[in-house]
Amino acid sequence: METNTLKILAGDIVTGSEMSKSAKLQLLNWLQNEATEVQIKALLLDGKMVIDLDEQAEEIVNSRFELSETDGQLKKSIASFKKARGAKE
């Protein structure tokens, strides 16, 4: 899955959350400017911001993410997101 798609999905989740406006802005800024693909995957999987990941942790996140994709959970979320935004799948 492309990093930009992950950023859009994570950004949509952040904007719909119950966090304060300043917290949302800070997290969106991190997503846009600093977060790596693995960090975004970890945020989507666990709902937590992870800053430092070693090589082994990155492998674990990537494996978990692949399993979640084959299970269809993220693909369903993306399809729902696109439908809500009126985009073609």
**Arithmetic mean of pLDDT, 33-42:** 94
**Arithmetic mean of pLDDT, 52-70:** 90
User: Which of 22, 27, 26, 78 is closest to 48 using CA atoms?
Assistant: 27
- pLDDT (tens digit per residue) in 12-31: 889 988 999 999 999 999 99
The pLDDT value recorded for residue 37 is 94
The tally of domains found in the chain comes to 1
Phi-psi region of 51 (alpha: psi -120 to 50; beta: other; left: phi over 0): alpha
40, 42, 49, 86 from 34: Cα distances, Å: 10, 14, 12, 29
Would you say the C-alpha torsion 24, 50, 40, 44 has a positive or negative sign? Answer: negative
- pLDDT (tens digit per residue) in 42-59: 998 888 899 999 999 999
Q: How many CB atoms lie within 10 A of CB 85?
A: 9
Enclosing domain of residue 14 = 3-85
